[in-house]
Amino acid sequence: MGTKIDLGPNGFIYPMPVTLVGADLTAGPNFMTVAWITRVQPNPPRLACGLGKGHATNIGIREHREFSVCLPSTDQLAVSDWCGLVSAGSGADKAAMFSIFRGALEHAPMIAECPLCLECRVERVVDLGSHELFVADLVATWTEERFLDEKSRPDIEKLRPFTLTMPDKRYWAVGDQVGEAWSVGRSVGGQPPAE
Amino acid sequence: MGTKIDLGPNGFIYPMPVTLVGADLTAGPNFMTVAWITRVQPNPPRLACGLGKGHATNIGIREHREFSVCLPSTDQLAVSDWCGLVSAGSGADKAAMFSIFRGALEHAPMIAECPLCLECRVERVVDLGSHELFVADLVATWTEERFLDEKSRPDIEKLRPFTLTMPDKRYWAVGDQVGEAWSVGRSVGGQPPAE
């Protein structure tokens, strides 16, 4: 271990999952690239994402209190990046780039090309300042048989999502499996795990 | 595109970054494995993580309103998994597995072996039900010169973090770079990006 240095308060969590958040705007469905997102509770299943208040997406989510989270694969890398470059507010029709489908909710447009899409209903909106945190209940998880493993679980090697690192602005594929969770640590510590 | 099927409301965001959250408990510093975490606002820089209320870590964070987020490398894979298997409440001394250091805050113990550690001051606690969401301001980002790129930014290929997928419970290394963000999408859509 070397000398520790302080880079200031702009540290990131590495790496960040890249998603496309879908919402219905006045002009129609829209999709925005979002990497600041995470699950926050298992039951009821909830996630949270932080979005700058200036985005057109925020207006649509606040109005309908519904949105989607679509996980693109590396096949959708360029168009996913594009959805973060252009703004619906400037007239870009991002929905025209995709095949849109809907599930249980009226205002959670989803992208058929994305291997996994989550339907979300807003539980609360937390005002952070420049951003707001949308805390939402998961309603459904849409995928296809071809993306599942032998136990009918989403298979990351078939989904092929990608991640983002900042401030270097790079996208990364998921690499090799390096261990089994709640398992590889059993050899450590010399005491039985208290699960 | 094939037929869409609904797996129910337990969809995950893929993949999830693995971190170790450090807090001061009555018995001393403690670390807990956390993958439900994300940045939520750039200025002031803020993150959020959802932790089950039953954890000893929550008590320490609520008491001191400070904690750390340490990003382990694959070198710390087994001990990071172990920190999710055992509970401080059951007497496990997880801090004994690491070299602890501290920065600007009194109650944000950090792991010297981890290539990147964030100091966090709680901004608010959002009660979700079984879990609570700790929204926190970033105070400092601790790393070492050897983990930086030529522009003095953290270099993911030197940090070598790892990610988690659920419900299949697997850890993954970061793979190949697949593109540049805010860049690779410029060829899409036929219109100038509105940045």
Q: pLDDT tens digits for A63-91?
A: 999 999 999 999 999 999 999 999 988 88
The arithmetic mean of pLDDT across residues A39-54, rounded, is 97
Q: Stretch A177-186: mean pLDDT, rounded?
A: 96
In a domain, A3, yes or no: no
B81/A184 Cβ within 8 A:
yes
**Could you report the per-residue pLDDT of B68-90, keeping only the tens digit for each?**
999 999 999 999 999 999 998 88
ipTM for this prediction: 0.94
Q: Report the mean per-residue pLDDT for chain B.
A: 95
Residue B135 lies in a domain: yes
pLDDT at site B194: 47
Q: What is the CATH number of the domain that holds A54?
A: 2.30.110.10
* Angular region, A125: left φ>0, alpha ψ -120 to 50, beta rest: beta
Q: Which amino acid is located at A52 in the chain? A: G
Whether B96 contacts chain A with CB within 8 A: no
**Using CA atoms, how far apart are residues B117 and A188, in angstroms rounded to an integer?**
22
Q: Give the per-residue pLDDT at B1.
A: 73
Q: In A, residues 158-187, which contact B (CB 8 Å cutoff)?
A: 159, 161-187
Q: What is the pLDDT of residue B2?
A: 85
- B93 → chain A, closest CA residue: A189
Structure-token match 């594009």, residue found: A82
Residue B35 included in any domain: yes
Residue B77 to residue A49, Cβ atoms within 8 A: no
Asked if pLDDT for residue B195 goes beyond 50, the answer is: no
Amino acid A194: pLDDT: 47
Assess whether pLDDT exceeds 70 at residue B123.
yes
How crowded is residue B127: how many other Cβ atoms within 10 Å of its Cβ?
Answer: 9
pLDDT digits (tens, 9 = 90+) for A16-37: 999 999 999 999 999 999 999 9
A5 inside domain: no
User: Is a pLDDT exceeding 70 seen at residue A195?
Assistant: no
Question: How far does A63 lie from chain B, in Å, by closest CA?
Answer: 21
* Angle value at C-alpha A154, between B128 and A21, nearest 5 degrees: 55
- Contact assignment for B169 to A182 by CB distance below 8 Å: yes
Question: Closest to A81 (Cβ–Cβ): which among B6, B123, B182?
Answer: B182
Instruction: Render pLDDT for B7-39 as a digit per residue (tens, 0 to 9).
Output: 999 999 999 999 999 999 999 999 999 999 999
**Residue B71 included in any domain:** yes
CA-CA distance, B117 to A113, in Å (whole number)?
A: 37
Q: Which domain range does residue B59 map to? A: 16-187
**Cβ neighbours of residue B150 under 8 Å, at least 6 residues apart?**
none
- Count: domains in chain B: 1
- Is residue A194 in a domain? no
Nearest to B41 among A44, A128, A185 (CB): A128
- Mutation target among B38, B68, B131, B151 for the A interface, most CBs of A within 10 A: B38
**Whether the predicted pLDDT of A189 surpasses 80:** no
Distance from CA of B191 to the nearest CA of A (A): 8
- Considering only alpha carbons, which residue of chain B is nearest residue A42? B10
Full-model pTM: 0.95
Residue entry with tokens 């693109």: A72
Determine what percent of chain A is predicted with pLDDT higher than 70. Answer: 96
pLDDT at residue B190, rounded to an integer? 59
3-class secondary-structure state, position A145:
helix
- Rg over alpha carbons for chain A, rounded to the nearest Å, is 18
Cβ contact B14–A71 (<8 Å): yes
The pLDDT assigned to A190 comes to 59
Q: Which residues, numbered 68 to 87 in chain A, qualify as contacts with chain B under a Cβ-Cβ cut-off of 8 Å?
A: 69, 71, 74, 77-87
**Residue from A177, A172, A139, A140 nearest A157 by CA:** A177
Average pLDDT over residues A135-164: 97
Cis bond before residue B167 (omega within 30° of 0):
yes
Closest approach of A62 to chain B, Cα-based (Å): 17
Q: Which of B4, B85, B178 sits opposite A193 (nearest CB)?
A: B85
Structure tokens at B118: 């964030």
Asked if the structure places residue A9 within a domain, the reply is no
Output the pLDDT for position A160: 98
The residue in chain B having the minimum alpha-carbon distance to the alpha carbon of residue A170 is B180
The stretch A2-20 carries a mean pLDDT of: 95
Within a domain: B141: yes
Q: What is the pLDDT of residue B90?
A: 85
**Residue A179 reports pLDDT greater than 70:** yes
Average pLDDT over chain A, rounded to an integer: 95
